[in-house]
Amino acid sequence: MSDQRPALTTFSEDEIAFKEAIRDFAESEVKPLVHKMDAEKTMNPDLIKKLFEMGLMGIESQEQYGGAEGSFTMACIAIEELGRIDASVSVIVDVQNTLVTNAFLRWGSDAQKERYLPQLATGKVGAYALSESVSGSDAFALKLKAEDKGEKYILNGHKLWITSANEAEIFLVFANLDFDKGYKGITGFIVEKGMPGFSVGKKEDKLGIRASSTCELIFENCEVPKENVIGEVGKGYKIAIETLNEGRIGIGAQMVGIAQGAYEATLNYVKEREQFGKPLSKFQGVQFQLAEMRTQIEASRLMVYNAARLKDAGLDFVKEAAMAKLFSSRVAEKVASMAVDLFGGNGFTTEYPVEKFYRDSKIGQIYEGTSNMQLQTIAKMELS
């Protein structure tokens, strides 16, 4: 029988203050740049610097490493509030915190933490490199090869669809040291920009989150020092799975932000737009759609923060994370689509924000585990 734990979703005064600060930052610093960054498919470098200055790139890192020493829930709050304005900015913060920094905090050696966490908190973007052309949902079918050459490892192969790759300087890369062992040969490596044999390749031209770079990584006899193995040799699969389980909550928060942004834009629009001599908001059909949107957003938000609270409390959260990502990504697409409908012809143009929310929402059902993979996780845990 499924457990019946209560939702742990009440925000503290500190979290509310943090949420308001991020909202102010997003409105003043991010919003003016959204249209230009989307059109040019480029993240503004000065904005990235401001993300670091705001302490948003090392939320969970301890103060000794230059971080804010906040909670996972606070990271989700930041991801949501940024997603409300721009999903591209939201995802660079998401990957930095819930995947890269998270992996270092859990699996890095003391020396690795001392070297890399201060860089990640104060000035260098990180990227998480698992996916390949043949290993999407089947993450452990990866073909990137690692060879032990005594004082170093040599990596050969490619990665695809790596978020923040253009901006990143520190990469967590998963490769296989022993294909005969299958997934038990997979090992995590820390690769730095500029290492011999490593380069960033083609940048994808995407439907949504266009300011967020998504690129190929190329490894041609890439030399990685022995001390750059993260965790244990052959345990990369464990790092990958457990980090992604946590990262899915972050994607859920991003999707809540997208839905909230689309809803707020729509709410303002229907109050001002008149048809048949009165504002659209006076029509019951419109009112019912707004009520449906708002209810769906609130439900997804509760699911996301319940999963985040469980994670912070050290309780099992894997099923809740899968459900939160599954549901919130569906809600984001549905709410953004309804927003385009309610904007009418204006909603189909780039002059108004809802078409971008609609484009950005789709990725939530794809990256960090497709919706079908979330369904598989939920079903497996319910039936176990």
Residue type (1 letter), 246: E
3-state SS string for the chain: CCCCCCCCCCCCHHHHHHHHHHHHHHHHHHHHHHHHHHHHCCCCHHHHHHHHHCCCCCCCCCHHHCCCCCCHHHHHHHHHHHHCCCHHHHHHHHHHHHHHHHHHHHHCCHHHHHHHHHHHHHCCEEEEECCECCECCCHHHCCCEEEECCCEEEEEEEEEEEECCCCEEEEEEEEECCHHHHHHHEEEEEEECCCCCEEEEEECCCCCCCCCCEEEEEEEEEEEEHHHEECCCCCHHHHHHHHHHHHHHHHHHHHHHHHHHHHHHHHHHHHHCEECCEEHHHCHHHHHHHHHHHHHHHHHHHHHHHHHHHHHCCCCCHHHHHHHHHHHHHHHHHHHHHHHHHHHHHHHCCCCCHHHHHHHHHHHHCCCCCHHHHHHHHHHHHHC
350, 291 Cβ separation under 8 angstroms: no
Residue reference for tokens 């932000």 = 257
185, 142 Cβ separation under 8 angstroms: no
Catalytic position from the list 60, 81, 355, 368? 368
| Residue 368 annotated to the active site | yes
Residue reference for tokens 């989150």 = 209
164, 45 Cβ separation under 8 angstroms: no
Instruction: Extract the tokens encoding 376.
Output: 């598989």
Residues catalogued as catalytic: 368
